[in-house]
Amino acid sequence: MRILDRYITRSVVTIFIFTILTFSFLYVLIDITSQLDEFIDRKVPLDILVQYYMSYFPIILSQPISSVACLIAVLFTFSHLNTNNEVIAMRASGLSFWQITKPAIMFGLIISILVFWVNERLVPRATEITEQIRNENMVLLVDRLRKKQEKIKNLTFYGLKNRLYFIDTFDAETNEILGVTIIEHDEQQNIRQKIVALKGVWTGIAWKFYQCQITTFSETDINTPLMIKVYKEKLMDIKESPNDFLNQRLNVTAMNIRQLKSYIERFSKSGAAKALNNMRVDLHQKIAYPFGNFVIVLLGLPFALMIRSRKGSAFLAIGLALILGFLYYVANAVSLAFGKGGLFPPLLSAWATPLLFTLIALVIIETDFSN
């Protein structure tokens, strides 16, 4: 590595680490302040709080904080170099834009890979741990009761007997479910039975389905229904209780790509098109999201090299970073909403924003730094 590359890399890494720690501290401080009354009422011990927020750190790192910190580090570093005329000296010595910014671009790529790894390996486990600590030590009883009374929409989970459940509405207070679809597979994941019901009620020992249709499929031809039975009322052989429904519901955050992909494959024959589409959008987003760190760095670099004012350059860099980060994540949220609404294909909805902002960055670089 050249001396110049080491010089730039050292500055970017130092500012990035400082920014991440600062943002994390502010995040924890704000979160503690907003929930201070709950902590006092529950008399949460200090060691539990420390354990909770230490477990929460991978989740903080996987959020847009990492992208903004990356961008601030790059903007600070290169705006400082530019205000001291060091960039002019580099350009005068024959270095191109890409040669000057290579350390920052490589840093953005490394952070993208790191965030991807954190999302895959650490975030699922961290989500489970923090949720468990919060439920056991931080949530007031009145809040638990209120949460239990809420109706849950689009409940999906993988249950016993190799069954996939899709429920339009689950009322946890009355233990009633509406719009039920259950797909049962064999060991080779071939569909064997499909259960559709208008309504289900928990009797205390079993589920009773109303307006129920049970379709059994042939073992030799999975596309051919072997038998169809319709019931006005029927007690079902379903072992899951209402509490199991609550505990096993799908949490995309707590799943890595392999788990979510396997879940989608199992659920693909359920006929629940909207739920499947949403899960496919989430799957592609898990892959595309970490790439945002690299894209935002690439987009911020030409602006960093344009900042030449010595006075207020730090505030200008922070403001620019926040604006670019805000625009990127707003555009990404809109694109994902279009994907889940069916206007964009899942793959396009996840990758449209990274590709669009990469194209914008390349156009700006080519226009202003081609010479």
- Determine contact, residues 22/88, Cβ cutoff 8 Å: no
Residue 315's pLDDT band, with cuts at 50, 70 and 90, is low
282 has pLDDT over 80: yes
Domain ranges of the chain: 3-139+284-368, 161-239
Per-residue pLDDT reduced to its tens digit, 53-112:
888 888 888 777 888 888 888 888 887 887 777 877 887 888 888 888 888 899 999 999
Query: Which of the residue ranges 11-15, 200-204, 236-240 would you say has the lowest mean pLDDT?
Result: 236-240
Residue 114's pLDDT band, with cuts at 50, 70 and 90, is very high
pLDDT (average), residues 268-278: 68
- Determine contact, residues 332/273, Cβ cutoff 8 Å: no
Residue type, 317: A
Say what the pLDDT of residue 292 is: 87
CA 292 to chain centroid: 12
The C-alpha angle 286, 292, 297, rounded to 5 degrees, equals: 160
Please, which residues bridge with residue 169 across strands? 153, 178
Q: Regarding predicted confidence, which is higher, 317 or 361?
A: 361
- Determine contact, residues 270/166, Cβ cutoff 8 Å: yes
Average pLDDT over the chain reads 81
Q: Regarding predicted confidence, which is higher, 34 or 117?
A: 117
Say what the pLDDT of residue 18 is: 92
The C-alpha angle 291, 321, 304, rounded to 5 degrees, equals: 95
209 has pLDDT over 90: yes
Say what the pLDDT of residue 142 is: 43
Q: Regarding predicted confidence, which is higher, 334 or 253?
A: 334
Q: Read off the pTM.
A: 0.71
